[in-house]
Amino acid sequence: MLTAITEAVRDGNTYDIAELVQSGLDAGAKPLDMLKAMTDGLDQCGKKFESGEYFLPELLMASDTFTNGMQVLEPHLGQAALGQAGKVLLGTVAGDVHDIGKNLVGFLLKSAGFEVIDIGTDNSTERIVAAVKEHQPDVLGLSALLTTTMLGMGDVIKALDSAGLRKTKVIIGGGPVSARFAEQIKADAYASDAVEGIRKIRELIGR
Ligand code: B12
């Protein structure tokens, strides 16, 4: 059944995914295992895209399928008391519309009791700084999936510095970024995946 879920996401089967996830839940499969199965599907789709077997429409279908599956799965990922763990603002940087990884981080943070403010994708530096000023989050989580857009993360950190807003800690994530890059742009932390992200965010907040 987990394999069927992985294949449905990989092949962009938007119609059957909700039913597959629901029957997995009914059969007693663990929600986190099903989340992993769906993420594996995206990974496999990405590999096929890289090797030239799949093209952009297949990527879009896979991402829609993931989102449809998440609608069924999310309520089952567990919910701790909202906001108790801290406040996190999430956003993808300018020029970048990838949001699946960021959304996954958001889902897990909410399940772990964080208040999450998600400002979506393709955010200009000015918009991110304004949101930090408005919401005063404990942590700002920035996402970028393109080697071109990741450079915008450094701009955001410089702008936060100039605006005196570095009480908010900054964590970065996304395919092309690394711990070394985080150090270069003076981010407070880097995480390679959502689970590590939650752990690092907890460390940053120190609760
Ligand atoms: C799905 C996808 C798309 C979808 C995005 C849909 C959506 N709503 O997100 C669509 C079709 C729109 C798309 C478009 C493009 N894409 Co694309 N896409 C992908 C793909 C296949 C999967 C990305 C994904 O969702 N992965 C699954 C998630 C769960 O993983 P993740 O994002 O890495 O996130 C995890 C971690 O990185 C981390 N994380 C991520 N963000 C954050 C943030 C914080 C705070 C923390 C703590 C952690 C964290 O935690 C997450 C969960 O564990 C990747 C290939 C790949 N294997 O990554 C290419 C890929 C990213 N895309 C690529 C490209 C080139 C493009 C396009 C330029 C293609 C084109 N020619 O038009 C456009 C650009 C559009 C734009 N302006 O942004 C390249 C990037 C190359 C590069 N290094 O720059 C990749 C790597 C494919 C490839 N090998 O060529 N894409």
pLDDT digits (tens, 9 = 90+) for 82-96: 567 899 999 999 999
CB atoms within 10 A of CB 205: 15
* Listed range (52-61, 80-89, 181-190) with the worst mean pLDDT: 80-89
Looking at 25, 48, 76, the residue that finishes a domain is 76
**145 CA distance to ligand 1 middle (Å):** 5
Sole residue written with tokens 């090797």: 51
* Listed range (96-100, 124-128, 142-146, 175-179) with the worst mean pLDDT: 96-100
Q: Do 51 and 111 sit in the same domain of this protein?
A: no
Region of 117 on the Ramachandran plot (φ > 0 left; ψ -120 to 50 alpha; else beta): beta
Residue 207 predicted with pLDDT over 70: no
Q: CATH number for the domain including 58?
A: 1.10.1240.10
* pTM for the model: 0.85
Q: Do 191 and 135 sit in the same domain of this protein?
A: yes
Q: Do 124 and 184 sit in the same domain of this protein?
A: yes
Q: Do 60 and 111 sit in the same domain of this protein?
A: no
Q: Do 72 and 92 sit in the same domain of this protein?
A: no
pLDDT digits (tens, 9 = 90+) for 18-45: 999 999 999 999 988 998 899 899 889 9
Residue 3 predicted with pLDDT over 70: yes
Find all residues with CB under 8 Å of 111, minimum gap 6, and list them. 77, 78, 79, 80
With a 6 A CB cut-off, is 53 part of the ligand 1 pocket? no
CB 49 within 8 A of CB 55: yes
d(Cα 189, Cα 3) in Å, to the nearest integer?
A: 34
Angle at 138 between CA 132 and CA 142, to 5 degrees: 60
**Domain annotation covers residue 96:** yes
Angle at 4 between CA 66 and CA 143, to 5 degrees: 25
Residue 118 predicted with pLDDT over 70: yes
Q: Do 67 and 137 sit in the same domain of this protein?
A: no
Q: CATH number for the domain including 160?
A: 3.40.50.280
Q: Do 68 and 144 sit in the same domain of this protein?
A: no
CB 38 within 8 A of CB 6: yes
With a 6 A CB cut-off, is 118 part of the ligand 1 pocket? no
With a 6 A CB cut-off, is 151 part of the ligand 1 pocket? no
With a 6 A CB cut-off, is 139 part of the ligand 1 pocket? no
Q: How many domains does the chain have?
A: 2
Q: Do 108 and 187 sit in the same domain of this protein?
A: yes
Q: Do 46 and 138 sit in the same domain of this protein?
A: no
With a 6 A CB cut-off, is 34 part of the ligand 1 pocket? no
Q: Which domain holds residue 23?
A: 2-76
Provide the β-strand partners of residue 198: none
Nearest residue to 136 (alpha-carbon basis) of 163, 108, 99: 163
User: In the structure, what pLDDT confidence band is assigned to residue 124 with cuts at 50, 70 and 90?
Assistant: very high
With a 6 A CB cut-off, is 49 part of the ligand 1 pocket? yes
Counting ligand 1 atoms within 8 A of each CB, the residue from 11, 53, 98 with the most, and so the one to mutate, is 98
Supply the mean pLDDT for the chain.
92
Q: Do 150 and 194 sit in the same domain of this protein?
A: yes
Give residue 81's pLDDT: 59
CB 65 within 8 A of CB 41: yes
d(Cα 33, Cα 128) in Å, to the nearest integer?
A: 33
With a 6 A CB cut-off, is 107 part of the ligand 1 pocket? no
**147 CA distance to ligand 1 middle (Å):** 10
Tokens of 14: 């938007």
Sign of CA dihedral 90, 96, 99, 102: negative
What CA–CA distances, in Å, run from 45 to 53, 96, 113, 160? Answer: 9, 19, 31, 36
Q: Which residues of the chain form beta strands (DSSP E)? A: 86-92, 114-118, 139-143, 169-173, 189-190
